[in-house]
Amino acid sequence: MTNAIEIKNLNKNYKDFKLKDVSFKVPRGSIVGFIGENGAGKTTTIKAMLNLVRRDGGTIEMLGMDALKDEKKIKESLGVVMDGCNFHDNLKTGDISKMLASIYKNWNVQLFQNYLKKFNLPENKIIKEFSRGMKMKLQIAVALSHEPELLILDEATSGLDPIVREEILDVFMEFIQDEKHAILISSHITSDLDKIADYIVFIHQGEILLDEEKETLLSKMGVLKCGEEDFRRLEKNEYIRYRKNQFSFEVLVNDKVAIKKKYPETVVDGVTIEEMMLFYVRGEK
Partner 1 sequence: MKGLILKDLINLKSTFKMLGLMITLFAVIYIPQGNGFIFGMIILMFAMMVVTTISYDDLAKWDAYALTMPVTRKEMVLSKYLMMALLNTLGAVLALIVGIVGNMIMRQSFSMEILVIIGVLYLVAFCYGSLIVPLIYQFGAEKARLMLILSALIPTGLILLLTQMQIPLPEAINPLIYLFLLLGFTVIMVSGSYLISLRIYSNKEF
Partner 2 sequence: MNIAISNSSDKPIYEQIAMQIKKMIISGELSPGDALPSMRFLAKELRISVITTKRAYSDLERDGFIETVTGKGSFVANQNLSFIREEQLRLVEELLQKAVDIARSSDISWEELSELLELLYKGE
Binding site for partner 1 (CB under 8 A): 47, 50-54, 71-73, 75-76, 78, 80, 82, 84-91, 95, 98-105, 152
Report the residue from 105, 118, 195, 282 that binds partner 2 according to the rule CB under 8 A: 195
Maximum separation of any 2 CA atoms in the chain, in Å: 68
Q: What residue 191 binds from partner 1, partner 2, none (CB within 5 to 8 A, per partner kind)?
A: none
HSE-CB at 63 with a 13 A cutoff on CA atoms is 23
The site partner of 230 among partner 2, partner 1, none (C-beta below 5 to 8 Å per kind) is: none
Identity of the residue numbered 215: E
- Among partner 2, partner 1, none, residue 113 binds (CB under 5-8 Å by kind): none
CA dihedral 261, 202, 273, 33 (to 10 degrees): -120
Of 5, 48, 176, 221, the one binding partner 2 (CB under 8 A) is: 176
Ranges within 262-281 binding partner 2 (CB under 8 A): 270
d(CA 155, CA 160): 10
- Based on the shown chain and the rule CB under 8 A, indicate whether residue 162 belongs to the binding site for partner 2: no
Residues 6 or more apart whose CB falls under 8 angstroms from that of 276 comprise 202, 217, 221, 252
Q: Phi/psi at 110 (nearest 5 deg)? A: -65, -40
Q: Find the shortest distance in angstroms from Cβ 220 to partner 2.
A: 9
- Tell whether residue 30 is a contact of partner 2 (CB under 8 A): yes
CA 229, chain centre distance (Å): 39
In Å, how far from its chain's centre is CA 58?
Answer: 21
Q: Are 199 and 33 in contact (CB under 8 A)?
A: yes
Stretch that binds partner 2, among 42-50, 111-119, 155-163, 189-197 (CB under 8 A): 189-197
Edge to edge, the sheet with strand 207-213 lists 78-81, 150-154, 182-186, 31-35, 199-204, 207-213
Pick the binder of partner 2 from 89, 123, 129, 215 (CB under 8 A). Answer: 215
The one among 19, 60, 169, 182 contacting partner 2 by CB under 8 A: 169
Q: Decide if residue 28 touches partner 2 (CB under 8 A).
A: no
User: Could you tell me the smallest distance in angstroms from the CB atom of residue 261 to partner 1?
Assistant: 50
Which residue among 1, 68, 109, 173 contacts partner 2 (CB under 8 A)? 173
**Of the two residues 155 and 192, which places its CB atom closer to partner 2 in the complex?**
192
Nearest residue to 149 (alpha-carbon basis) of 74, 201, 199: 74
CB closer to partner 1 out of 102 and 245: 102
Q: What is the Cα–Cα distance from 157 to 28, expressed in whole angstroms?
A: 22
Number of residues that bind partner 2 (CB under 8 A): 20
Give residues in contact with partner 2 (CB under 8 A). 29-31, 169-170, 173-174, 176-177, 179, 195-199, 213-215, 219, 270
